Amino acid sequence: MLVSCGLGGGLAAWKGMLARFRATMRIVLWDYRGLSASDPPADGVSYAMADHADDLNGLIELLELDQPVLVGWSMGVQVNFELLRRRPEVARGLVALHGAYRHPLDTVFNSKLPKAVPPIAFGGMRRYWRRFAPLMKRAGRSRRLALGFMRGCQRIGLLSSRCDEEMFYEMARDWVKLDLGIYADIFEHLASHDAQDVLSTITIPTLVVAGRKDVLTPPELSEAMVRRVAQAELLMLPDGTHFGPLEYPDAIAERMESFLRDRVGLPC
């Protein structure tokens, strides 16, 4: 199983969900170029989804993985689509959690996000993140602040009350350590990426996981994805947001287990 994370969501977010698969299969998680433990590209500018797909393909070849199941969350869904565009035979199954297939900012908050906001936000992150990085790291060590931020996200509907506090705290601690200038560069490329033409070419068993209350990737996108991918099935989390792995780890793992056993033919 080869796992591509969300942008800023590292290992901590997957602990509860993937624990049950460790005894039966190899699980590989990786960091995108320039983030966490991965170095930035030599040219400092190559952050397109195609570049991340090249990295993913290189990882498959380096580790000699034979048709792994591709699992992606959020941005990871689009990276996997981009890999399948060039190598449709590379995987034996696909799991897409809370991910779009094109221009994700066009549908975030039901398209009510003003067009001027993302460029301003990305520019601010590039210009000022180094000034605030030490403060962010200190704040990230505070469990009280992290959980206070989590409560705020729950109040505005970005997270459900089911969110696992410990996993959120670990994810927050990792996020504040990121180079937010690179983060902004990657996010900008993600926002312009379009893989809708890939959907009709996917012939492997596919599980799509969506949250009924996801305001970042509205559930209608996931339902459309299932209609366009020939062998796709849908798991809709009734109170799930964009952070299903932190809210419904057991429900997702249980459905993944039956999907991998019954549809992909793997021992689970």
pLDDT digits (tens, 9 = 90+) for 93-120: 999 999 999 999 888 877 666 666 677 7
pLDDT reading at 265 higher than 90: yes
Average pLDDT, the chain: 91
Q: Which is nearest to 71 in space by CA: 1, 9, 8, 20?
A: 1
Judged by DSSP in three states, 234 sits in: strand
pLDDT, position 268: 80
pLDDT above 90 (res 45): yes
Give the strand order in the sheet containing 2-4.
Answer: 28-30, 2-4, 69-73, 93-97, 206-211, 232-237
Regarding predicted confidence, which is higher, 199 or 11?
A: 199
- Residues with Cβ within 8 Å of 162's Cβ and at least 6 positions away in sequence, in order, are 239, 247, 248
Q: Which of 237, 171, 216 is nearest to 36 (CA)?
A: 171
Highest mean pLDDT among 65-74, 108-117, 133-142, 175-184: 65-74
Average pLDDT of the segment spanning 142-169: 92
* Averaged pLDDT, 11-39: 90
The 3-state DSSP class for residue 170 equals helix
The percent of residues above 90 in pLDDT, for the chain, comes to 72
Backbone angles phi, psi at 66, to 5 degrees: -100, 105
The pLDDT, as a whole number, for residue 245 is: 94
Per the rule left: phi > 0, alpha: psi between -120 and 50, beta: everything else, 109 is left
CA nearest to 204, candidates 245, 265, 268, 267: 265
Residue-range domains of the chain with CATH: 2-264 (3.40.50.1820)
Residue 135 has pLDDT above 80, yes or no: no
Cα gap 253→249, rounded to integer Å:
6
Would the pLDDT of 125 be above 90?
no
The arithmetic mean of pLDDT across residues 234-246, rounded, is: 96
Whole-number Å distance between alpha carbons of 131 and 265 = 51
Give the per-residue pLDDT at 111.
67
Alpha helical stretches, state H, the chain: 15-18, 49-62, 75-86, 117-140, 143-155, 165-175, 180-191, 196-199, 219-228, 244-247, 249-259
